[in-house]
Structure 1
Amino acid sequence: MADKLKQLSIDRQPSGGRPRRRVPRWLWLAAIVAAIALAVGIGRTRRAVEVTTVKVTRAWPSAALSTLNATGYVVPQKKAAIASKATGRLEWLGVREGSPVKAGEVIARLESADLEAQVAQAVANVESARARLKQAEAESLEAGRAMRRSRELRAQGFISGASDDNAVSRAQQAQAAVGAQAAAVRQAQAALVLARVNLDNAFIRAPFDGVVLTKTANVGDVISPFNAGADSKGAVVSMADMATLEVEADVSEASLFKARQGQPCEIQLDALPDLRLLGEVRSIVPSVDRAKATVTFKIGFVERDARVLPEMSAKVGFLSRPLTADERQPRLALNPKAVADGAVFVVRDGHARRRPVTLGGKLGDLVEVKAGLALDDSVVLEPGALEDGAAVTEKKP
């Protein structure tokens, strides 16, 4: 009976007969510590302070000297659309956009076979008129000799007065014919000049030294500047004298007292943000734009750069005095609201680290940073009671 009861009992040992191992106590302790550290880290992350940050940037000392700012565009003072007074088909074009040209240089040519024929015909007419003049002069010379003989014979009584009068009349007519032929020569010469001018109009020349800006016609196009039809072109190219570039800027009439003729300026181009060029007010348009309530100022470049092109947008700072050499270099600058007790909080890897800085003078709305920071450092704006090493998250201002 006992054996049967023993067979009915449940064997709680593993099938292999090995006893079950217990987890060591130190592993449980390590897991608990890790869980606590994770919870603390998550808690700290959740408690990170949200701050507004600004970048350390570059600023120009001229900002502190600027009494007025205006915007405008670079324009050439000397600019022209080049065409021909003749009408015809464009046969040759020797320039393209950006080509430099000299005054009087042939840049294009129209078909001119008919004009060349007209010049040849005018030359022949001049030669024919000169030949007729020579013939008239010879006849006048002969008529003069006949008149003198007639007078001698009349004085001796060998001919009648009527015969002498006829000889005098023929001499006068011959002399008049000489004058008429001389006028015909001059007329033929004038016609030759006109034919040559028409031929010369077929050659399109640059009116001044400059650079080709745009090309508006191609070989084969019909050029008709005075009456451009649907299938014809007016100007062949447009060009400008790059030495006459200037900035046209609109100044509010309420700010006119801040600007004057000859005032020093600093020109900044949007296409070349790291370039600052000196300029001065060359002229002021003596009229107010009623719609915009502005006056146009023309600011000339005191120094030039080959990268400056027409129609570039520009910003002009009207300065209270000329800049010194040292003031023409950019400097590190920062929003003064980021400075507290001579230090700033630099944000890096999610933490704000306090860093002392050495400041300089004002640069417009910014303050110069002489030491302690580098370009593009991210610092906390208005740190307040922020602690050194505090966890932070950045947001845009």
Structure 2
Amino acid sequence: MVTANLALAEALSQPCCPHVSRCFIVQAGGGIATNHNETPMEQTEKAKPDLSALRIHRDDDEGSGTRRGLRVVLVGTVLILVAGALLVGYRMWGSATMPEVEVARAIVESGSAGLEILTATGYIVADRKAAVSPKISGRLEYLGVDTGSRVKPGQIIARLEHRDLDAQLSDARSSLANYQSAQTQASAELEQARASLSQAQANKQKSSLGLARQVKLLENGVTSKADLDNATAQARVDEGQVRSAEAQIRAIQAKIESSSQQVHSAEARIRLVEAQLEYTSIRSPFEGLVISKDAEVGETVAPAIFGGTSTRGSVVTIVDPNTLEVEADINESSIGKITPGLTAEVTLDALPNEKLAAEVRKILPTADRQKATVKVKVRFKEIDPRILPDMNAKVTFIQKAEQGAKTEAARITVPKSAVQQRDGKTIVFVFSDGRAVSQVVMVGNEFGDRVEIKQGLAGGETVIIRGIENLTDGSRVKVKTGS
């Protein structure tokens, strides 16, 4: 009983429900007990029901809905970004792992093109080439061209310092002016001496006449011996003056001749200095293309034969693009097949799908004992502006069909490297829409590094020539840049 009362008292000390103001306790005898510690007023107020707990909080519901919508949008955006990143990554991975191949065209050739008798390799060179150097030594003060510049004949491409030559030219011109002034003065003196000579000759003639008169007068006893002596002395004085004037004229003439020689010497010196000044201007010897710049402004340059460790022997190197040709090395055992004028086709690594018409220009009369080859020069029938010096070239020599011979039908050819053997079949891989498509073909005769395709191709297709080893029909591939 005591235990029950203690439990009842503990229950009465705490509210049984947070939202009900009054608690009712059921006693053991079946009655209802109230909390007698509360006043009647408090019991009345607590007896009123509290309906605030039943209010619907609409603001909270709207806020939670908005937050849920934002969470959905953010999650969707993140999923889209992740999917896009995965797709891009997959494509990049696929592109990085995709086989890289080189391609070439299946070419339709005329049957009258002739028979390919020999193929050789070589390089593009210029028959007309010049390493331009100055005629005199000097310090480079101006360079007006760069690698790749086009130049005209006589164009000034560089210039040496020439202040010392300018001073020499000024001095030579001053000397010339002095000599010319001295020559002019001597000429004036000569005119004066000639006038004096004329005067002396007149005096001599007058004194001679006076002396003759005094002689006759003395013979007639009209004049005295003293007058005759005076006339004789005057005649001799006047004759001496004539000889003196003549000597003066000869001296002045010699002076004029010396001045004239000095003038000629000064003029020659001026021409020499002017020529040396002209040598400081380095000009292009012909119209061409600058392929290398061998010196810079501030460096000392000299004629090529005087070049040293600290002196440049040339300023630029120029080639004439119109003389570009192929130098090919032909084996000694095959040189008998080559004759001047023989038709040839040139293929460049830079233009793998084009054949450039050419012909043999010259067979050099010497052989290379180390390589056992003879050098042959092959010139283009038409210069393509895309051809550049030092490019790799492949030359196919073609023997034209004899006149009146039966003309063969056109043929389709591809590089030999395009033809593969798979499962007992001869195939080529055709590049189409980013994939390698296997095509069964029938091959015919070989023509140099190409082979005839009798069946399987129509001509003009793009065939794969390198990177074929691991390809299968339908494999995705990418073409190597520059192929």
Q: TM-score, normalised by structure 2?
A: 0.57
Equivalent of residue 367 in structure 1, options 452, 464, 469: 452
For 1:275, the equivalent position in structure 2 comes to 354
**Greater mean alpha carbon deviation, residues 196-205 or residues 362-371:** 362-371
- Structure of greater relative contact order (alpha carbons < 8 Å, 6+ residues apart): 1
Partner SS for 1:235: coil
1:181 and 2:259 aligned? yes
1:239 to 318, 326, 334: 318
Structure 1 partner of 2:61: none
Matched, 1:136 2:214: no
Question: How far 1:347 moved relative to its partner?
Answer: 8.9
**Matched length:** 317
Q: Match for residue 228 of structure 1? A: 307
Give the alignment's Cα RMSD to 1 decimal: 3.9
> How many angstroms does 1:327 deviate by?
10
CA distance in 2, matches of 1:244, 1:106: 22
- The residue number in structure 2 matching 1:44 is none
- Match in the other structure for 1:154: 204
1:115 equivalent in alignment to 2:165? yes
Larger displacement relative to structure 2 (266-275 or 283-292): 283-292
Separation in 1 of the partners of 2:315 and 2:159? 10
Once the two structures are TM-superposed, the CA of residue 246 in structure 1 deviates from its matched residue by 1.4
Q: Distance in 2 between matches of 1:112 and 1:134?
A: 33
SS of residue matched to 1:85: coil
Q: Secondary structure at the match of 1:282?
A: strand
Is 2:424 aligned against 1:376? no
**Structure 2 residue 253 is matched with structure 1 residue 191:** no
Structure 1 position 213 matched with structure 2 position 261? no
Distance, in Å, in 2 between the alignment partners of 1:271 and 1:134 is: 73
Task: State the alpha-carbon separation in 2 of the partners of residues 109 and 328 from structure 1.
Answer: 59
User: Given the alignment of the two structures, is residue 69 of structure 1 paired with residue 104 of structure 2, yes or no?
Assistant: no
Cα distance change on mapping 1:117 and 1:253 into 2, 3 Å = same
Query: Equivalent of 1:88, from 121, 138, 156?
Result: 138
CA distance in 1, matches of 2:141, 2:104: 60
Q: Which residue of 2 aligns with 1:387?
A: none
Which of the numbers 102, 106, 111 marks the counterpart of 1:58?
Answer: 106
Equivalent position amino acid for 2:395 in 1: V
**Equivalent position SS for 1:376:** strand
Other-structure match for 2:370: 291
Given the alignment, which residue of 336, 340, 357 partners 1:261? 340
State the shift of 1:192 in Å: 0.9
CA distance in 2, matches of 1:57, 1:230: 51
Q: What is the alpha-carbon distance in structure 2 between the residues aligned to residue 191 and residue 306 of structure 1?
A: 48
- Give the conservation status (yes or no) of the 8 Å contact 1:64–1:362: no
Q: Distance in 1 between matches of 2:409 and 2:348?
A: 18
Residue 201 of structure 1 and its aligned partner are, at CA, apart by 1.9
**Letter in structure 1 aligned against 2:251:** Q
Deviation at residue 116 of structure 1 after TM alignment? 1.6
Structure 2 CA distance, aligned partners of 1:147 and 1:205?
59
In 2, the alpha carbon distance for the partners of 1:257 and 1:60 equals 30
- Tell me the distance in 1 between the aligned counterparts of 2:239 and 2:121: 95
1:169 correspondence with 2:254: no
The 1:154/1:290 distance shift into structure 2, 3 A limit, reads: farther
CA distance in 1, matches of 2:337, 2:246: 88
| Residue matched to 1:21 | none
AA aligned opposite 1:311: D
Matched AA of 2:362? S
User: Partner of 1:103 in structure 2?
Assistant: 153
SS of residue matched to 1:248 = strand
Q: Structure 1 residue 191: deviation in Å?
A: 0.8
Instruction: Work out whether 1:78 is the aligned partner of 2:163.
Output: no
Q: Counterpart amino acid of 2:121?
A: T
Instruction: Give deviations 1:37-64, integer Å, cap 9, x for gaps.
Output: xxxxxxxxxxxxxxxxxx9973574896
Question: For the structure 1 residues 314 and 183, does the alpha-carbon distance in structure 2 shift closer, same or farther, using more than 3 Å as the test?
Answer: same
Aligned to 2:12: none
The structure that has the greater radius of gyration is 2
Gaps of 5+ in 2: 1-102, 209-234, 402-407, 431-436, 466-483
* Post-superposition offset of 1:169: 2.0
1:143 Cα deviation from its structure 2 partner: 2.2
Give aligned-pair identity as a percent.
35
The amino acid across from 2:126 in the alignment is P
* CA distance in 1 between partners of 2:323 and 2:410 (Å): 24
1:279-301 deviation digits (Å, cap 9, x = unpaired): 12222222333333333222111
Change (3 A) 1:138 1:333: closer
Report if aligned partners of 1:88, 1:111 keep a CA contact under 8 Å in 2: yes
The 2-side partners of 1:232 and 1:178 are apart by 48
Distance of aligned partners of 1:359 and 1:86 in 2 relative to their CA distance in 1, 3 Å threshold: closer
More helix, by proportion: 2
Deviation, 1:190, is: 1.0
User: Residue 134 of structure 1 aligns to a residue in which SS?
Assistant: helix
Deviations 1:141-183 (A, max 9, x none): 2223333333344344244544333322221221222122111
What secondary structure, in the 3-state scheme, does the structure 1 residue paired with 2:340 have? coil
Q: What SS does structure 2 have at the residue aligned with 1:254?
A: helix
8 A Cα contact 1:61 1:363, kept in partner: no
Secondary structure at the aligned position of 1:233 is classed as coil
Deviations 1:51-106 (A, max 9, x none): xxxx9973574896222222222111111112222323222211111011111111
